[in-house]
Structure 1
Amino acid sequence: MLKALKKMFGKGEVEQLVAESAAPVMQPPAPTPAPAPPAVDQRKAETPARAETTEAAKPARSQPAAKPRRERKPKPQASTWKLEDFVVEPQEGKTRFHDFKLSPELMHAIHDLGFPYCTPIQAQVLGFTLRGQDAIGRAQTGTGKTAAFLISIITQLQQTPPPKERYMGEPRALIIAPTRELVVQIAKDAAALTKYTGLNVMTFVGGMDYDKQLKALEARHCDILVATPGRLLDFNQRGEVHLDMVEVMVLDEADRMLDMGFIPQVRQIIRQTPPKSERQTLLFSATFTEDVMNLAKQWTTNPAIVEIEPENVASETVEQHVYAVAGSDKYKLLYNLVTENKWERVIVFANRKDEVRRIEERLVRDGVNAAQLSGDVPQHKRIRTLENFREGRITVLVATDVAGRGIHIDGISHVINFTLPEDPDDYVHRIGRTGRAGTSGVSISFAGEDDSYQLPAIEELLGRKISCEMPPTELLKPVPKKHG
């Protein structure tokens, strides 16, 4: 398959959501410079000179033209940390981050995160991308692909000095992801990895206050921008964000963006970036469908193709069960599983938003500390819900697949498929929310008369059978009535 894919490619062709504690501190304005000449849209002028980092030099806007210029956030003071503090012995069959030419600042952050060795996709991708080559990667969720493209981006931005003059809203690296939760997670990882570099990370997502995100953009330069397609287009079309300085562009979960109908928006965004021969493009997808590969051919130049085939599609650390249960008994089974076992951090997946809402409402009514996560929930509430779940203040999180894609939370002991997913790949993504980082986890799927027919396709993807069990009788007892 690898050879066939390589033949397809010739030599041609989010509102600021990084946690406040991780966000770089706004710098005070520098002294007001001497009056500037009349504003000129240098974007249209036939001159190589770059526009000044002032409001006066930008296209016409509602903000005052005489806004003072702000200086770039200075790099943090050098710490006493040395590379010698990060000792990792060579090990056969493993690649160390030491084996790549990464800056001390980046290695310091990697050390803080406790990552001594690269995951397989990190080792393979970085071998190409650190040389400036485009890449498309396919890997199972939770394999470390986010760190792979972030390390590539950070290294590129450190090795290439930024232009002396540029707009605040001219990111040098752009990461597009399909869901708000995934954008937030990527930005959080980016903030951790850029901790000692002085690079600024920003997020643009819909469902949050536009003006608040705009103020953050006007306060400091944007080095790495992580965004959902719709909100990024809003900023771009209003002249707040310009993409002509993008050096590295990442498209994450391209297959999901296809499924969600975002590709027309992504095309509009990519047209605003430099030609593909003048930028590095990285594309990641859980699957390499024909549509995904066609997009990759349009947007990349002679890419390296990296496919990580796990020995087992689903993690060996996840114990999988399927209970054969009537649809009318599913809720009783869910309630009794959670309460009888006193589980503390559980995700329940259902296929539809209305189903998620009903399950969550019944759990809350029956005294279970539950919350829902779906496209119908306002963004500020979704972020608060995820944090409460992460901190243990919520026991059961009920979610749809779209919402569940961006959940990377340690300590989730159980994943319950209230309904089996229609797409077998979603089954793998769902159960991958538990058993992360080498810990063990359990997935339990309810197979009823309406969805048990999905099992054969899931088993084919897994490459093995999942034995179907009858739930113990005590787990089907009626839910006690709440009084008062």
Structure 2
Amino acid sequence: MLKALKKMFGKSEVEQLATETAAPVKQPPAAPQAPAPSAPLNTEAVDPAPTRAEKPAEAKPRRERKPKPAASTWKLEDFAVEPQEGKTRFHDFKLSPELMHAIHDLGFPYCTPIQAQVLGYTLRGKDAIGRAQTGTGKTAAFLISIITQLQQTPPPKERYMGEPRALIIAPTRELVVQIAKDAAALTKYTGLNVMTFVGGMDFDKQLKALEARHCDILVATPGRLLDFNQRGEAHLDMVEVLVLDEADRMLDMGFIPQVRQIIRQTPPKSERQTLLFSATFTEDVMNLAKQWTTDPAIVEIEPENVASETVEQHVYAVAGSDKYKLLYNLVTENKWERVMVFANRKDEVRRIEERLVRDGVNAAQLSGDVPQHKRIKTLESFREGRITVLVATDVAGRGIHIDGISHVINFTLPEDPDDYVHRIGRTGRAGTSGVSISFAGEDDSYQLPAIEELLGRKISCEMPPTELLKPVPRKHH
């Protein structure tokens, strides 16, 4: 497959590396330098921003912000990481002290495989397309690259509020919020501003944030970004780095026409750096990559086959009418504390959650019907252990990074085998072990062969123990 990709883009990676030094990078980085602490980005309240045509030529004055005390005392020597064979350290790249300080705070001594490979290309200004699942560290890979680019290239003197220098487009609100959270942690000592545009949240509030300070890194869902762009509030002609995350999911969700409109507003591909990530390299994804990138490096990290190693997988053959009893008894009898339950449709998710709550289980649902503020609150409650069972659809559950999920239950088997891998990948993360239990009923057991083919092994079907099918006790109110 890699051969076909290389052929498609006309260069082998060996040739790419050989020509790397000869080819001028799009924006040759100067020596890394920290932004002057006395000139952080403006956070003053301002009158509603006029259109760009009415604005004065010079950038708005910047107000001094108190420097973070930790930044002055921290030194790179405080972040000692021994070289280890087969591992790449963040020290092995030329990253600024501010960025290294944030990486140290986050406790990342070594790069994940995708970080090591992607940064090897992107820090030299190259475009890249990466195949990687969530949970592989790809978000930090593109954020570190963006932050380094913005630190090495000073912002233009004439600069307006609604002009981001880096743009990250992701398909779901949860993913945008997660990326922005990671970006805030990594930009902690740099003075760079991170903003988010997502649907389902107060438009005016997002507009006020945009008018109050310069936007360095913008993370957005396609629809809401177009709203801002079409109203003349956000301008994309200054984008230096463009990231498209989960391109395959954007295709599935029908967002590509909107993404095309957005990309047309950014500088030509020869004048910006473009990074595209996808869990799968379908023909459609590769065609998009060809249109939007220039001679990209191709980085492939094997799918979550680790899931099959760290996740113990079970399939219970169970009648559709017994599925709820089995779920209730599994959770309550075993006193599980952090469980994700997946179902294929939003109405199924709602019904399962309502029954669990009625039967005294701390449960919540995550689907496209749940308002954004509630979704974020739900995820926080689940992360903190106040919610025991989170019931989700595939679209809503993708990209959830929560450690400590002990069990994943497939109430219904997914129609797409790839979704099975994504689902069980919510547990057994970061080297811990996890358990996945799938309920195969008369309506969905035919999905099993395709899942087994993708996994490359059989999963034996078991009958659930009789005690797990006992009736759910009725609650007396």
User: Would the TM-score normalized by the shorter structure come out above 0.5?
Assistant: yes
Specify whether residues 363 and 171 from structure 1 end up closer, same or farther in structure 2 by C-alpha distance, changes over 3 A only.
same
C-alpha distance in 2 between matches for 1:116 and 1:162:
30
SS at match of 1:321: strand
Rounded to whole Å, the distance in 2 between the matches of 1:211 and 1:446 is 45
Aligned 8 A contact 2:341 2:390 in 1? yes
| Residues 55/118 of structure 1: CA separation in 2 closer, same or farther (3 Å cut) | closer
Deviation at 1:200, TM superposition (A): 0.7
Per-residue deviation, 1:102? 0.7
Q: Within 1, Cα distance between the matches of 2:23 and 2:474?
A: 47
Q: Which has the higher helix share?
A: 2
In terms of mean alpha carbon deviation, does 385-394 or 306-315 score higher? 306-315
**Structure 1 CA distance for aligned equivalents of residues 465 and 410 of structure 2:** 18
After TM superposition, give the deviation of residue 17 of structure 1 in Å: 39
Structure 1 residues 19 and 455: CA distance shift in structure 2, 3 A: farther
Does the CA contact (< 8 Å) of 2:134 and 2:399 recur in 1? no
Instruction: Sort the Cα spacing of 1:170 and 1:204 in 2 relative to 1 into closer, same or farther, 3 A.
Output: same
Change (3 A) 1:18 1:169: farther
CA contact (8 A) 2:76 2:100 kept: yes
Choose which of 174, 183, 189 in structure 1 pairs with 2:182. Answer: 189
Q: CA deviation at 1:164?
A: 1.9
TM-fit CA distance, 1:411: 1.1
Residues 34 and 187 (structure 1 numbering): CA distance in 2 closer, same or farther, change over 3 Å? closer
Rounded Cα–Cα distance in structure 2 between residues aligned with 1:351 and 1:17: 44
Partner of 2:5: 5
**1:199-248, CA deviations, whole angstroms, 9 ceiling, x for partnerless residues?**
11111100000000111111111110000000000011111110011000
- The runs of 5 or more residues in structure 1 that have no matched partner are 40-52
The CA distance in 2 between the partners of 1:30 and 1:87, in whole Å, is 26
Q: Residues 94 and 118 of structure 1 are in contact (CA less than 8 Å); yes or no, is this contact kept in structure 2?
A: yes
Q: Distance in 2 between matches of 1:209 and 1:72?
A: 27
Which residue pairs with 1:332 in the alignment? 325
CA contact (8 A) 1:321 1:469 kept: yes
- Return the offset for 1:80: 1.1
1:9 shift after superposition: 2.0
1:452, 1:38 → 2: CA distance?
Answer: 63
- The 3-state SS of whatever aligns with 2:19 is coil
Retained in 2: the 8 A contact 1:17–1:203? no
Cα gap change, 1:18 to 1:443, in 2 (>3 Å): farther
Q: d(CA) in 2 for partners of 1:315 and 1:35?
A: 45
| Structure 1 counterpart SS, 2:149 | helix
5+ residue gaps, structure 2, are: none
Q: 1:167 to 1:25 in 2, by over 3 A?
A: farther
Paired residue secondary structure (1:181)? helix
Pair 241,152 (structure 1): closer, same or farther in 2 beyond 3 Å: same
Moved more, 244-253 or 13-22: 13-22
Preserved contact between residue 16 and residue 204 of structure 1 (Cα < 8 Å): no
Q: Secondary structure at the match of 1:151?
A: helix
Q: CA deviation at 1:4?
A: 1.6
Distance in 2, matches of 1:80 and 1:38, equals 17
Q: Deviation of residue 78 (structure 1)?
A: 3.8
- Report the CA distance between 1:56 and its aligned residue: 15
- Contact 1:415 / 1:442 at 8 angstroms: preserved in 2? yes
Q: Is the 8 A contact 1:72 1:220 kept in 2?
A: no
Residues 29 and 70 of structure 1 are in contact (CA less than 8 Å); yes or no, is this contact kept in structure 2? Answer: no
- In the aligned structure 1, how far is the partner of 2:457 from the partner of 2:37? 71
| Secondary structure at 2:403 match in 1 | coil
Residues 365-421 of structure 1 deviation map (CA, whole Å, 9 limit, x = unaligned): 111111111001111111111111111111111000010013111111111100011
Which residue does 2:73 correspond to in 1? 80
Please identify, of 11-20 and 362-371, the stretch whose mean Cα deviation from structure 2 is larger. 11-20
User: Match of 1:253?
Assistant: 246
- Give per-residue Cα distances to partners, 1:27-54, cap 9 Å, x unaligned: 9999999999999xxxxxxxxxxxxx99
Give the superposition deviation at 1:483. 1.4
SS in 2 for 1:425: helix
Tell whether the 8 Å contact from 1:15 to 1:209 is kept in structure 2 after alignment: no
Q: Go from structure 1 to structure 2 and tell me whether the alpha carbon gap of 1:16 and 1:106 turns closer, same or farther (over 3 Å shift).
A: farther
Kindly provide the CA deviation profile for residues 135-161 of structure 1, in whole angstroms up to 9, marking residues without a partner as x: 000013211111110110011011101
Are 2:411 and 2:439, in contact at CA under 8 Å, matched by a contact in 1? yes
* Contact 1:356-1:398 at 8 Å conserved across structures: yes
Report the Cα offset of residue 25 of structure 1.
35
Deviations 1:421-461 (A, max 9, x none): 11111111111111111111111111111111111111111
Taking a change above 3 Å as real, the CA distance of residues 315 and 36 of structure 1, as seen in their structure-2 partners, is closer
Call closer, same or farther: CA 1:23–1:123 in 2, change over 3 Å: closer
Distance 1:7 1:293 in 2: 12
Q: Which 4+ residue blocks in structure 1 deviate beyond 3 angstroms?
A: 10-39, 53-60, 62-78
Instruction: Give percent identity, aligned residues only.
Output: 94
- 1:112 shift after superposition: 1.0
Structure 1 residue 24: Cα displacement: 35
CA distance in 1, matches of 2:90, 2:465: 49
Q: 1:470 to 1:14 in 2, by over 3 A?
A: farther
